[in-house]
Structures are given as C-alpha cells and as structure tokens.
Structure 1
Amino acid sequence: MGMMEGKVVVVTGAGGGIGRGIALAMAAAGGRVVANDLGVSLGGEGADAGPAQRVADEIVAAGGQAVANTDTVSTWAGAHRIVQCALDQFGRIDAVVNNAGNLRDRMFHKMNEDEWRSVIDVHLHGAFFVSRAAANHFRDQEGGAYVHMTSTSGLIGNFGQANYSAAKLGIVGLSKSIALDMARYRVRSNCIAPFAWSRMTDSIPATTPEEKARVERMKKMEAGKIAPMAVFLASDAAADVTAQIFAVRANEIMLMGQSRPLRSVHLGEGWTPEAIAATAIPAMRGQFYPLERSGDVISWDPI
C-alpha cells in the first residue's frame, strides 16, 4: 500500500510542470486525485480543459483514480466547487496542494494594478479560498493536510516580482495561521519552495551569458523532484510535521528559517531618533541582511 492509500487529494495547477508531477505521484502512492487546472496562459489568457483532463486520463490509464476539474481558485465560489468535486467524485477530501500559479513580472516602478491583482488573486487569494473550502471537512473528520507552494522570491527576494514575492510570502503567513488555528483538529499546514524548470521559470529572461548559464543550470532541476516531499507532507507519515517551510531543489531538501529576533538593544530612558541613529543602528548593523536575491543566497549548483 502507498502512503496515500485511501486518501483523496486536490492538486491545483495540476495540468503541467510541478503540479502534474505531484498529481501523478499522489496517484502512484494510492491517492485519489482531483486534477484542477484552468488551462490558461501564464498571464491568465484563454482557458483549456485539455491539460487537467490529460493528467486525469494519464492517472486512470496507469490504474489510478482521478477526475479533472477546471474551476478557478481565484474566487470563493470556484474554490468551493473544486472541493465539492472531490466530495462528489470520491466522497471525502484529505489533502489540498495549493500549486496553481501565474506570473505577471514587471519592475515595481512599472507594475500596474492589473498585474498586481491578477497574481495576488491566483496565488494568495487562491490558496486561502481552496484551503478555506476544505477546512470544515478537515475539522469535522479531525484530520487533513495542506501543502502550499511558496517561493524563495518571497522568502529571500527577486527582481521584477513584487506581486509574486508578496503573494508567496503571504502564503507563508497563511500556512502558519492555518497550522495554529487548526492544530486542535489534527490538521497540518506546510510550505514547499520549489526549484524546478517549468512553464513559469521558462519565462525568465536570458540575454547575458551569465543569465543563460543560470537558465541552463535551472533546466537540470526536474519538476518531478518536488513531488516526493508533497506526497510525504500530505500523508500520515508527516503527522507531526506542521508550520514548516521546505525548499526542494533537485536532490536537495532544505529546511528554511523563519523570522526570529536577531539582536536586541535597550535604553533605560527610552529612545529618541538621534539615539537610534547614534547607538541602536550601529549596534544592530552587523546583523543586517544584505540586499540579495534568491540566486545570491542559494548560489551553489543543484546536486
């Protein structure tokens, strides 16, 4: 028996890349899968039921159980229809993988309202809506697992992704809150920051030799390498794992840090702006984080 035997899992954004790999792995581990995907472009244009259906058909052809779903994660009603699909088809829901995503990259000072809202809607609102749609079922059955996709673009930083970075760091806060609020019901919530070559990373510009070399290194990071961690976190084997952030890159798994105080300074008579400038900041400056992006911090080649 596989680690997901008897369980029903919703995978959003399952039509390709990381989501497809997770959906196939969940089914291979014995899970029954709702493969959700709108089949739109990275910018949100068009809609095609084909990607979700192809993944569902692939699972069924391999002897598994799956159904395709094309509802949007970005609305309350759409998210509830996704979860209801699992209930209608398989009678229950045990895990949610919030993987659906889009990109509207633009430098912050050029980003418009639509580029901001469209990314927040899919990533952050989508993660909340789908998670919330499953929450009452998890609570009533006293068990369930959430697996959310975050990104080092949010955890560390990146160029031209203010919308994406804000959404992905917001997902970390959402996951922690879910873990705290639903621990009493034995519901777990964790994040994965995936490094993988997919349709989303295929949009990364590569005009200089350095950028082209970086892209070639990224192509070695297979999307399917993310799936084992997602299956583990959704399974009963992870019953004592919650509120964590894991980065997965090729054959590496990294446990990511979370915000904690680094240094504290105290002044008995209280602080003035001048005292802060003269004393507090110099005392803390050694622990300041430099202005880095993801590639500067995780700079070694994939293993």
Structure 2
Amino acid sequence: MSEIRFDGKTAIVTGAGGGLGRCHALELARRGANVVVNDLGGSVDGSGGNSEAAEKVVEEIKALGGKAIANGSSVTDDKGVQKMIDDTMNEFGRIDIIIANAGILRDKSFTKMGMDDFELVVDVHLMGSVKPIKAAWEIMKEQQYGRLVVTTSSTGLYGNFGQTNYGAAKLGLVGFMNSIKQEGAKYNIKCNAVCPVAATRMTESIMPPAMLEALKPEYVTPGVMNLVKEDAPTGMVLSAAAGAFSMSQIRETKGAFVGTGDALTAEAVAAKWDQITDDSTMTHFEQGGGHTGNFINLIKEATGG
C-alpha cells in the first residue's frame, strides 16, 4: 500500500496547540504538508488565551524540517477567522485541508446550565467549525480541491449526562457534514467527521490514569489522515479510540404505511408499532431525498400506486 503523503498541500488545524489538534498538525507536517497551527490558547472552558501553545507546535514542526505558521485567532470571531485564511494564503498560496478541532467544555446538568454556557459551547464547536470552512470555501471551489474534517462526539451521537450544550453542537456538525458533502462534490471537496475518544485536557479530569494512557490522542490521528487524503471518503463518521476504529451512521427502519383520513388514528399507529420499529430493516440514507423516497415507496406498496 502506498504511503499517504501531503506534499505541496496546505492544512489548517484549529485547536492545534495541544491534544488531538497538535497530533493532527504534527502528522500532517511529517507527511509533507504546510501547516497552519491555530489555537486561541484559552483554558478548557474557553476563558483566557494567548498564542504560546500554537507557537510551540510550530517550533516542533520546524524541528522536524516542516513548514508551519502559528495563528491565535478565535474560531468564533469573524475577523479573526478571516485573518487566519488571509495569513494562510499569504504564506502558502492555497488551502487544501481544514481540520476543525477547536473546542471547549462547560459541563452542567440542564437544570443548572445557563444559556450563556449553552450558547458559547455551540458557538465554539459548531460555528467555530463552520466559519473557517465558509471563509475557505470559495478558495477550495476555485482550486477544485478540498478536504474537510469536523470533530463530532459520542455525546452528539448517543448522549451524555451534563452535556446538552456539547451534544447539540456535536450532532449539529454531523448535519452540517451531511449537507456540505453534497454541495462540495462537484468541486472535489470532501467532508468527513471524526468521533474521537482521547486523553486530552478536556477528558483528563473524568478518566482514570490507566485509561488516559490507553487513549492517547496520537492513536486517533492515523484515522484522520485517511479522512483528508487524496482518495478520502466523504460523508463518513469515523469513530476512533486507543488504536481501534469504526464507522458510525444514522439509520432508519423501513417503517409502515398506516393510512390517511379517518383511518389514520393514534390507535392505528400503535397497532403497527412493531412494524414501524422493526430494526431488522434498517437503512442508511446518503441524502435527505432517500428518506423521502422511502415514504413514497411505502405508500406505493400499500396502495398499489
């Protein structure tokens, strides 16, 4: 199997001052990419900030013989994001890869969570992924090339107590990916999502030491390289932890046609509940039209249309 290389390509990695982002940035550089190391340098909850962490990663990359620049912009700030794009183009002349990794945590039960905590987490994770991609979108279209990765979470896919804000943002990114992959297809722009479990600043307080050792962030990065390579898939959610990988999907049962008019009652739905929820008929739809088409087929089957 040929080596995965990124020679001549330029990658932006947000939240790359430590943890997963740092590992992604270093590996891209090892494989030949020019790298823009973005990190606000704030604390886990998003407060504070300086570019020292990003500068250190740039030094690591240069020590490897790679090319990199640091950027301390907040991914939520429109002017800062545009500066990141402008700096990248001025330095390297193109943008081929964006790995949207920046994130914060403000965990609380929904009862105790203020709307400011909810809105900030959604802003950083969801809009902080959308804004850099939007700012680079026309560049990638003109190049006829782009590889995008957003970072989702098991909280978004399956839920976790005390993380309603985080879960809403992380599943929102999957919805964004599912649509942007379609808009990017004609321009050779691909978008995927990684769902990592890793020992980072965001998880060190909730995992025991032995688990933290097994869940090194560098064990996620080889999977991410496959999401941004030349022949990458598109629209995939790659789950990754401790050197193991799997694919996550949203799926739907075939369902059942119940009826219309007077025949359609709550009781009639209840009578077909087992058929509606029969998980032996699960299907993954590549786009929203497949979901609609399934209902059209159900109606045709039931009515002979």
> Does TM-score exceed 0.5, indicating one fold?
yes
- Residue correspondences, number: 277
What is the aligned partner in structure 2 of residue 227 from structure 1?
221
Which of 165, 179, 182 is matched with 2:181 structurally? 179
Q: Aligned with 1:201: secondary structure?
A: coil
Separation of aligned partners in 1, 2:226 and 2:5: 8
* One-letter identity of the residue aligned with 1:175: M
Residue identity over aligned pairs, in percent, reads 36
CA RMSD of aligned residues (A): 1.9
* One-letter identity of the residue aligned with 2:60: E
- 1:251-284 per-position Cα deviation (integer Å, ceiling 9, x unaligned): 21101122333533423654222333x4143544
Separation of aligned partners in 1, 2:178 and 2:84: 23
What is the aligned partner in structure 1 of residue 90 from structure 2?
88
What is the aligned partner in structure 2 of residue 248 from structure 1?
240
1:83 Cα offset (Å): 1.6
Q: Does residue 216 of structure 1 match 2:210?
A: yes
Separation of aligned partners in 2, 1:219 and 1:264: 48
> Unaligned 5+ residue runs, structure 1?
207-211, 289-303
What is the aligned partner in structure 2 of residue 275 from structure 1?
268
Which of 158, 161, 165 is matched with 1:159 structurally? 161
Tell me which of the two structures has the higher relative contact order, counting C-alpha pairs closer than 8 angstroms and 6 or more residues apart: 1
TM-score, normalised via structure 1 length: 0.86
- 1:119-146 per-position Cα deviation (integer Å, ceiling 9, x unaligned): 0110000111011011000000111110
1:285 Cα offset (Å): 5.1
What is the aligned partner in structure 2 of residue 294 from structure 1?
none
1:231 Cα offset (Å): 1.9
* One-letter identity of the residue aligned with 1:200: M
> Unaligned 5+ residue runs, structure 2?
281-305
Contact kept? 1:39, 1:46, Cα under 8 Å: yes
Separation of aligned partners in 2, 1:195 and 1:130: 24
Separation of aligned partners in 2, 1:203 and 1:263: 43
Contact kept? 1:83, 1:130, Cα under 8 Å: yes
Q: Aligned with 1:146: secondary structure?
A: strand
Which of 250, 255, 270 is matched with 1:258 structurally? 250
Q: Aligned with 2:161: secondary structure?
A: coil
Runs of 4+ with deviation above 6 angstroms? none
Q: Does residue 4 of structure 1 match 2:6?
A: yes
Separation of aligned partners in 1, 2:256 and 2:213: 43
Q: Which moved more, 1:67-76 or 1:6-15?
A: 67-76
* One-letter identity of the residue aligned with 1:73: V
* One-letter identity of the residue aligned with 1:275: A
Contact kept? 1:103, 1:119, Cα under 8 Å: yes
Q: Trace 1:1-303 onto structure 2 (pairs within 5 A).
A: 3-204=5-206, 212=208, 216-238=210-232, 241-267=233-259, 270-276=263-269, 278-284=270-276, 287=279
Larger Rg: 2
